[in-house]
Amino acid sequence: MTTGTDVNHARHDTAWSFPGIAARAAKTDEEGRIPPQSWTEVIESGYLRLFHSTEVGGVGANGTTQAEAMEALARACPGTYWTATVSALLCAKMISTYGDPDHHEGLLRSLLSGRKLAGFAVVETTAGSDSATFRTSVRPAGPPGGGFYISGEKARISNAPSADLAVTLARREKSPGDDGPDWCLAFVDLHQPGVRRYEIPHMGLRGMPWGGIVFTDAHVAERDVVPVPFHELAEGMAWGWLKISFAAIAIAESALAASVRHAKDRVSFGRPLAHMEGVQAQLADSRAQIDATRSLARRALCERVAGRSARDLIAKLKIYATEMAVQVVTRAVQIHGAAGVTKGHEVERLYRDAEMNVIGGFTSNRLREQVAEGMGLGPAVYGEFDWVTPAGLGRDPTGLDGPSFPEAGGH
């Protein structure tokens, strides 16, 4: 395993490896929790510090090093990867991007050291991607304590049952004359009165804690409520799309490796599966798709690390990478036959994990709409329209309200 001190001098040939976490991956999935040993190994590897500058306790690793480390951890255990990367990359980037460096440096350091765990609380019970339905809000608390109260419920949130902190998207109850943004990020301490958490059973990524958070007038310090225009939030959320894309690549790579091993070992009809043209074609297709996706993902990450947005590129990457992984794992199931759908088999676990990435972070269907908007097709928002009247299809065929339609076969 790469140690924390190695990260500063990481080379392209640095081999990131998490053998202990990989050895416990099946148990992590079966028990639905990350073993303490695995979390300790994540911390000691220096992984949590890769994505940030030295000023806040990070190491400022380059894009190549970050990519290698993300894929290695996700190969070892996708659930562990999600837990660590949601906290240290997505949530910490939201804090460093939108927070106050003077006030929030300590909070960042606690996440990068692994002393605290964060969850990104956006989705609510009413909908996943439709922010118009979100109801969680903050309001001024007033004297004597000042600050704000937050109320509402967030559901299907990564790390919710175990997190110490929730980076929470909320509406602002604005006072008269307040012309600031309607939305904010609230950095909420989850160890306080007014906070209740619950777990939600889930199909894949089972080692990742997943559930809901109910806020009932939980207190948030004034400096921890950061007004943000809603359109700017997508820029920060793109880190999450990148995180998911690397998880998908790793899952696909693991499924392909398992398929190659099985194809070499399994003899059917007098020859190894690997000698069958149909199996070879499936393996070759998977190899090509994974390598192409990895190249795109590394390009997008390096753009991002260099300070360029690459948001549109990352949106397209997330769509392709997550659905590519499902295709590759589906082929793996076909190659393994009944074993591939047997509970406890590596490929069965990977199949469940792959599907979670398509939905997680922002559904691929919604991202497709955003890509289409970028092509000049307009916003994907419903508006009433009438296709019938202008086409004349609303006329009464009896002729009582105008000319009738010609009889079938008429001229």
* CATH of residue 309: 1.20.140.10
**How far apart, in whole angstroms, are the C-alpha atoms of residue 236 and residue 240?**
8
**How far apart, in whole angstroms, are the C-alpha atoms of residue 223 and residue 100?**
8
Question: 181 and 54 in one domain?
Answer: no
Assigned domain for 399 exists: no
What would the pLDDT profile of 381-400 be if each residue is shown by its tens digit? Answer: 667 777 777 776 766 666 55
Judged by average pLDDT, the poorest of 25-29, 30-34, 178-182 is 178-182
Inform me whether the pLDDT recorded for 252 exceeds 50.
yes
Inform me whether the pLDDT recorded for 4 exceeds 70.
no
Could you tell me what percent of the chain has a pLDDT over 90? 73
Question: 349 and 284 in one domain?
Answer: yes
pLDDT at 17: 94
pLDDT at 402: 53
**How far apart, in whole angstroms, are the C-alpha atoms of residue 316 and residue 206?**
26
Choose among 188, 54, 199, 51: nearest CA to 118: 188
Question: 38 and 126 in one domain?
Answer: no
Assigned domain for 286 exists: yes
Assigned domain for 245 exists: yes
Q: How many domains does the chain have?
A: 3
What would the pLDDT profile of 113-134 be if each residue is shown by its tens digit? Answer: 999 999 999 999 987 777 888 9
Question: 181 and 63 in one domain?
Answer: no
Quote the domain boundaries for residue 210.
120-228
Rounded to an integer, the average pLDDT of 86-110 is 95
**Which of 176, 200, 228 is a domain's end point?**
228
Inform me whether the pLDDT recorded for 254 exceeds 50.
yes
Kindly state the greatest CA–CA separation across the chain: 86
Question: 370 and 254 in one domain?
Answer: yes
Assigned domain for 401 exists: no
pLDDT at 195: 98
User: pTM of whole model > 0.75?
Assistant: yes
Question: 373 and 238 in one domain?
Answer: yes
Question: 369 and 236 in one domain?
Answer: yes
**Which of 67, 82, 116 is a domain's end point?**
116
**How far apart, in whole angstroms, are the C-alpha atoms of residue 5 and residue 46?**
8
What would the pLDDT profile of 300-320 be if each residue is shown by its tens digit? Answer: 999 999 999 899 999 999 999
pLDDT at 261: 96
Choose among 2, 165, 153, 42: nearest CA to 92: 165
Strand partners, 148: 140, 220
Residue 150 — pLDDT band, cuts 50, 70, 90? very high
Residue 3 — pLDDT band, cuts 50, 70, 90? very low
Inform me whether the pLDDT recorded for 250 exceeds 90.
yes
Q: Across 331-409, where does the E strand assignment appear?
A: none
CATH number of the domain that residue 80 is part of: 1.10.540.10
C-alpha distances (whole Å) from 266 to each of 282, 336, 338, 346 are 16, 9, 13, 16
Question: 251 and 366 in one domain?
Answer: yes
Question: 31 and 13 in one domain?
Answer: yes
Question: 68 and 147 in one domain?
Answer: no
Q: What angle do CA 319, 39, 77 make, to 5 degrees?
A: 40
pLDDT at 1: 40
**Which of 62, 93, 116 is a domain's end point?**
116
pLDDT at 68: 97
CATH number of the domain that residue 130 is part of: 2.40.110.10
Assigned domain for 411 exists: no
Rounded to an integer, the average pLDDT of 133-159 is 93
What would the pLDDT profile of 185-242 be if each residue is shown by its tens digit? Answer: 999 999 999 999 999 999 999 999 999 999 999 999 999 999 999 888 888 889 999 9
Question: 368 and 236 in one domain?
Answer: yes
pLDDT at 328: 98
Assigned domain for 410 exists: no
Question: 143 and 107 in one domain?
Answer: no
Assigned domain for 207 exists: yes
pLDDT at 265: 92
Inform me whether the pLDDT recorded for 256 exceeds 90.
yes
pLDDT at 142: 82
C-alpha distances (whole Å) from 59 to each of 41, 163, 267, 314 are 18, 24, 49, 24
**What's the whole-number average pLDDT of the chain?**
90
Assigned domain for 205 exists: yes
Number of neighbouring beta carbons within 10 Å of residue 390 = 9
Residue 127 DSSP symbol:
B
Task: Give the residue carrying structure tokens 């000691």.
Answer: 44
